[in-house]
Amino acid sequence: MPEPVAAAVTRTPSGRLALAASPEPIALGPLDGRYQSAVATLVDYLSEAALNRDRVAVEVEWLIHLTSNSVLPGAGPLTDEQQEKLRAIVTEFDTASVVELAEIEAVTVHDVKAVEYYIGRRLPAIGIENLTAMVHFGCTSEDINNLSYALGVKGAVEDVWLPAATALVKQIEAMAEANRSVPMLSRTHGQPATPTTLGKELAVIAHRLNRQLDRIAKTEYLGKINGATGTYAAHVASVPGADWEAVARSFVESLGLTWNPLTTQIESHDWQAELYADVARFNRILHNVCTDIWSYISIGYFRQIPVAGATGSSTMPHKVNPIRFENAEANLEISNGLLDTLAATLVTSRWQRDLTDSSSQRNIGVAFGHSLLAISNVAKGLKALDVAEDVLAADLDTNWEVLGEAIQMVMRAEAIAGVEGMENPYERLKDLTRGQRVDADRMQEFVSGLGLSAEAEARLLALTPGKYTGIANRLVDHLK
């Protein structure tokens, strides 16, 4: 018996074993490798396989739409069973289908044409091989592509991204409610400023993020199916008696999309640019959240709950690093880099068509993937935080000078009410407090010597930095 021939070993130019030659695919990017579990749900909407499945769905529904409305002479409505079998081509689309499509495309060197042939192969089993010519009837590739991308992006946003983003904002809202009355020193320009409450500051974040979610939820997903240059020329030449605009509009709307009546060969993608700008704005606000929370952790306002068995530093065993927020920052920046590029690129097309959008749109899933990963990390990071109320209180107690604002405003009100000796309140407080630390005794001594009315003096003497929060706790109610 001859000796088995050893498999050839592939090596890189540097002599290392070539990992690309592994029988098991090795991911090039982190979303398909390290972070795959966090973004896996997007595969059903924004992967190449999902795009092809949506292309199959659009082609199938177009065939059913044309026959159901007897648009072409000699091609009347299909039976319920035939329609069900056609739609099963979509519902039963699986990994074997992906492989078959790839094999067809290797011959056609055209992805949408491969979809047309893929469907055509299945019509004899349904008993409608005579309708093979109706598959892709009157369509340019972009008629199928624009609708498929719209369906994929719509599904990804509504079924995956929005629920995750909404859950995160609800988590922040719950934190705002729980901490609505916890006083906290503000910092404007990084310096001690008028106190607030932790809950109110979290409510500001939630309010900002909710406004973006509202915009994203109202997105219009546009689509068209009007031929090679948007004129219905082939449609009218082949079936001049049909109301092709009505046929196109009813079809696009039947897919749950908004009909775009005026296009070139491509649907103009303006809706995509609008959506990506809104998602990018959400990302930027969330990025600001990450940097603020990171900073609050660094000054001790939040304590991080250690994860059993986890390592914070390879050499410093005491450390619990805010890695969730740092990871989120990076992924939000990557997401926005792609979203900004998509929004800028997709609104431009040379004359009636160029292919820049084709390559660009293949990165939509990556853009949403990095955003979804960031959302997941922020949610996990927030769950691992404890509010250090003792640190918050101590910080307030060492910054009595922030009451300077309150005192000088009371002095102004007293002056207006006719109380004498209230001249130059701002300047007097500036001399006392600017660039200086003032403790409770010094502040109360100052108040007692101002000559305020008895009521105003009592009110100010009862005031502490922790009580000087206005109606901050009530402002959280605006989230309701």
Lookup result for tokens 């916890």: 182
CA distances from 38 to 51, 112, 306, 334 (A): 20, 30, 21, 16
Q: Whose CA is closest to 280, among 353, 224, 332?
A: 332
Contact yes or no for 138/116 (Cβ under 8 A): no
If you count DSSP H runs as helices and E runs as strands, how many of each does the chain have, helices first?
22, 6
Q: What is the helix (H) or strand (E) element at residue 286, kind and residue range?
A: helix 270-298
Please give the Cα distance from 324 to 375 (Å, whole number).
10
CA dihedral 137, 142, 145, 146 (to 10 degrees): -110
| Active site (annotated) includes residue 189 | yes
Please give the Cα distance from 404 to 412 (Å, whole number).
12
Please pick, among 37, 189, 318, 359, the residue that the annotation labels catalytic: 189
For residue 430, give both structure tokens: 């500036």
Q: What is the helix (H) or strand (E) element at residue 258, kind and residue range?
A: strand 258-259
Please pick, among 22, 70, 250, 313, the residue that the annotation labels catalytic: 313
Contact yes or no for 375/160 (Cβ under 8 A): no
Helix (H, G, I), strand (E, B) or coil at 305: coil
The conformation of residue 230, written as its DSSP 8-state character, comes to S
Helix (H, G, I), strand (E, B) or coil at 302: strand
Q: Which amino acid is at 402?
A: V
Contact yes or no for 165/249 (Cβ under 8 A): no
Look at strands 183-188 and 191-197 and give their pairing.
Answer: antiparallel
* DSSP symbols for 384-401: TEEE-HHHHHHHHHT-GG
Which residues are within 8 A (CB) of 159 and not within 5 positions of it... i.e. 6 or more apart? 41, 45
For residue 40, give both structure tokens: 């896996």
Q: What is the helix (H) or strand (E) element at residue 450, kind and residue range?
A: none
Please give the Cα distance from 21 to 29 (Å, whole number).
17
Contact yes or no for 257/221 (Cβ under 8 A): yes
Q: Tell me how far apart the 2 most distant CA atoms of the chain are, in Å.
A: 116
Q: Whose CA is closest to 193, among 478, 406, 475?
A: 406
Active site residues: 189, 313
